[in-house]
Amino acid sequence: MILLNVAGMLQEAPGAVRDVALVDAQFPEVTCWEVAGIEFRVPAVEGALDFSVLGWDLLSLFDVSVSHRNGRIELRLAHEI
């Protein structure tokens, strides 16, 4: 069992391999990326996370930019999946 740091506490986090679809809908454009075989870690204790978290396993596939002024987080595929 792997331990995951959740809000400053270590929680047991079993893994699960899943396919993921990410959608960015900025009308009139819609972009969708499908990623196969990403391993997720989910805390074993129900309610350990108030919000879902995207980890480096998934984010490392993208160039990520954050614009506080525009209230946007942009993902650009870093390489072919």
**Reported confidence tier of residue 53, pLDDT bands at 50, 70, 90:** low
Tokens of 5: 């740091």
Tokens of 78: 């870093």
Rg of the chain (C-alpha set) = 15
For range 2-17, the mean pLDDT: 78
The candidate with the shortest Cα–Cα distance to 56, out of 44, 42, 39, is: 39
For range 62-74, the mean pLDDT: 81
- Give yes or no for residue 60 having a pLDDT over 70: yes
pLDDT in tens, 31-44: 888 888 888 777 77
Let me know: does 22 contact 46? Beta carbons within 8 Å.
Answer: no
Show the beta-strand stretches assigned E in 27-71. 29-41, 62-67
Let me know: does 39 contact 16? Beta carbons within 8 Å.
Answer: yes
